[in-house]
Amino acid sequence: MTAWEAVIGIETHVELSTKSKMFCGCPADIPDEPNTACCPVCLALPGSLPVPNVKAIEGIVTIGTALGCTINESSLFYRKNYFYPDLPKNYQISQYTFPVCEFGSLIVEVQGEPTVVGITRVHMEEDTGRSTHVGEGGGRIQDAEHTLLDFNRAGVPLVEVVTEPDIRSAEQARAYGAELQRIVLALGVSDAKLEAGSMRFDANVSVRHVGTEELGTRTETKNVNSLRSLQRAIEFEIDRQIAVLEDGGSITQETRHWNEDKGVTLSMRSKEESEDYRYFQDPDLLPLEVSDEWQSLVRESLPELPAAKRARFRAAGVEAETAELLADNLELASLFEAAVSGDTNGKLIGNWLTGEVVAHARRENMLVSDSALTGSHLSDLAEMVEEGKLSSSAAKEVLNAAMDGDGSPRDVADARDLLQMSDAGEIEAAVDTVLAENPDAVAKIAQGDSKPIAFLMGQVMRHTGGKADPSIVQRVLKDKTAGDA
Ligand code: ADP
Ligand code: MG
Ligand code: ZN
């Protein structure tokens, strides 16, 4: 039996954080009080007409550009027709043929292994309202007594990013979701909060035998709202499909739902085909024109993307995982940038920021940005460690003190008498004294027994009140005893 291979494509919905909704002037920042951000347009009252939100179009063009897409100079709005109580128009304005953006890509890395995920399309649509099913069943429609409808979210601009079926594992899918979220956050077009639903994933999964080309029948697991769930839902679905097929069964193309508590996907409904939606071009909306000039403006004002930022940090000496942590955290990244220039030790500073700095902030229950730590504190500290003036444990103490506002690293190290003896001459004098006091140990070393070196190290440290830089002591000791032999 040949091995199985998973084939995965992901659809991601991203709510844009514009001031107003997609086709009306209602606030897109949804108020808590239900049905207070609605108007005739988003409630689809007769005679109302939609007007596209230019900021939303700028948002989608920004996302498409960051994903390397072709931006269509002219794209079309369609009506996607279906009935659901939280959809006041009984259709959703969406796009079908000619979306705003097509043919992009995103590179994801799993354990240092890069994969190019093709982006099929990025299209513009509007969000639905929200239904709350009330009753014994814990929010499930099946056993609800009644349903509450809130139209505040109806008409909020929604961007859908659709990938090619290029993803081959649940880990890759998670890495894709995480990278897309980072990009959207870096672009500042959405708060991309998975737990709040402003970014959500649909995972399309099928399996096939390794070496075959033809795609298997897929299922689509809808509205997955965390990266961990995305990975778990896909892992479950891959295993389930393989078990069904190995048992001689077949996969039904259907929409499934991820049950977080039980850790399973459950069948929701058979999958609609696009014919079911009776798409037609929205007669209320003209073709959307995005001029070359506008595209260039967006391209020129694109911020640095997360992958470029990570590469920049790695070039400054930071290890891969640390670079990822740094690039994901604005306040750490800006401290790093303020501290590291030219040949300063990026690796050391990166490790402090993602290690001790975060740990101390957590212990003291403060934000790193509220601490007194500055970039020049970090670069001074790194210099002191590199010059052998501070041990690594003393450096941590100084770092904590600098965060607490006790002063600059040099002042703190002075005041607390933490400076190491790093002057080679002083250390040599101490070593000479210790060697003269311990002729037996020196003789043993001369006979090829290296054990007494540790003892002599201890003596030198004691002699210097623990202040000598141990790496220098060790070097001087080895030099001197080798010279004596
Ligand atoms: P829709 O779900 O709206 O019908 P598409 O047919 O374009 O839209 O497919 C949606 C997603 O499903 C895309 O991300 C695509 O890559 C993925 N997909 C399509 N066929 C398969 C398959 N056989 N296995 C896994 N993913 C698939
Ligand atoms: Mg779909
Ligand atoms: Zn409105």
**pLDDT value at residue 470:** 84
DSSP 3-state assignment of 96? coil
CB 243 within 8 A of CB 277: no
pLDDT of residue 137: 67
Nearest ligand 1 atom to the CA of 274 is 4
pLDDT in tens, 356-413: 999 999 999 999 999 999 999 999 999 999 888 888 888 999 999 999 999 999 999 9
Question: Please, which pLDDT band fits residue 462 given cuts at 50, 70 and 90?
Answer: confident
Q: Is the pLDDT score of 440 beyond 80? A: yes
pLDDT of 333 above 90: yes
CA distances from 183 to 63, 328, 350 (A): 8, 10, 22
Q: Which ligand is nearest to the CA of 223?
A: 2
Determine the distance separating the centroid of ligand 2 and the alpha carbon of 130, expressed in angstroms.
19
CB-ligand 1 contact for 162 (6 Å cutoff): yes
Ligand approaching nearest to the C-alpha of 96: 1
- What is the model's pLDDT at position 285? 97
Q: Which of 4-8, 140-144, 305-309 has the least mean pLDDT?
A: 140-144
163 lines ligand 1 (CB under 6 A): yes
Out of 162, 169, 201, 204, mutate this one to test ligand 1's pocket (max ligand atoms within 8 Å of CB): namely: 204
CB 165 within 8 A of CB 192: no
What's the rounded mean pLDDT across residues 234-250? 97
Q: Which of 76-80, 209-213, 225-229, 341-345 has the lowest mean pLDDT?
A: 341-345
Residue 206 near ligand 1, beta carbon < 6 Å: yes
Residue 254 has pLDDT above 90, yes or no: yes
Which pLDDT value is given to residue 343?
Answer: 64
Closest ligand to the CA of 120: 1
Write phi, then psi, for 464 (nearest 5 degrees).
-100, 15
Looking at every residue in the chain, the average pLDDT score rounds to: 93
Using CB atoms within 10 Å of the CB of residue 418, give its burial: 0 to 12 exposed, 13 to 18 middle, 19+ buried. Answer: buried
Highest mean pLDDT among 247-251, 430-434, 456-460: 247-251
The verdict on the CB of residue 221 being under 6 Å from ligand 1 is no
Neighbours of 432 (CB within 10 A): 13
In the structure, ligand 3 is a single-atom ion and the residues with CB under 5 Å from it are 24, 26, 39, 41-42
- Mean pLDDT across 272-284: 88
Res. 342: pLDDT tops 70: no
Q: What is the mean pLDDT of residues 107-124?
A: 96
| Cβ(164) – ligand 1 distance below 6 Å | yes
Q: Which of 110-124, 180-194, 215-229, 383-397 has the lowest mean pLDDT?
A: 383-397
Closest by Cα among 216, 227, 229 to 257: 229
Q: What pLDDT was estimated at residue 484?
A: 47
Mean pLDDT of 152-166: 98
pLDDT for 124 beyond 50: yes
Q: Which of 82, 162, 167, 220 to mutate to test the pocket of ligand 1 (most atoms within 8 A of CB)?
A: 162
pLDDT over threshold 80, residue 1: no
pLDDT tens-place string over residues 296-329: 999 999 999 999 999 999 999 999 999 999 999 9
User: All domains of the chain, ordered by start, with CATH?
Assistant: 4-299 (no CATH), 304-415 (no CATH), 424-482 (1.10.10.410)
Q: Is the CB of 254 under 6 A from ligand 1?
A: no
% residues pLDDT > 70 (the chain) = 98
Q: Which residues is 163 bridged to in the sheet?
A: 119
Which atom number of ligand 1 is nearest to the Cα of residue 204?
Answer: 26
pLDDT at position 483 is 57
Q: In the predicted model, what is the mean pLDDT of residues 127-145?
A: 83
Ligand 1 centroid, distance to 178 Cα (angstroms): 20
| 364 CA → ligand 2 middle, Å | 46
Cα dihedral 301, 306, 309, 311 sign: negative
SS3 323: helix
Q: How far is the CA of 139 from the centre of ligand 2 (A)?
A: 24
* Best residue for ligand 1 mutational test, from 176, 218, 224, 245 (most atoms within 8 Å of Cβ): 218
Minimum mean pLDDT range among 45-49, 107-111, 137-141, 192-196? 137-141
Contacts by residues 299-302 (CB-CB < 8 Å, ≥ 24 positions apart): 299/65, 302/62, 302/65, 302/66, 302/187
9 touches ligand 1 (CB under 6 Å): yes
More confident residue, 256 or 461: 256
Give the pLDDT confidence score for residue 76 in this predicted structure: 97
| Res 461 pLDDT > 90 | no
Give me 26's structure tokens.
């209602």
Q: Measured in angstroms, how far is the CA atom of residue 35 from the centroid of ligand 3?
A: 10
Cβ within 8 Å of residue 317, ≥6 positions away = 345, 346, 347, 350
- Verify whether ligand 1 is closer than 6 Å to residue 165 (CB atom): yes
Residue 7 near ligand 1, beta carbon < 6 Å = yes
Residue with tokens 């140990």: 441
User: Ligand 1 centroid to 170 CA: how many Å?
Assistant: 16
One-letter identity of residue 94: S
Please determine, for residue 128, whether its predicted confidence score (pLDDT) is greater than 90. Answer: yes
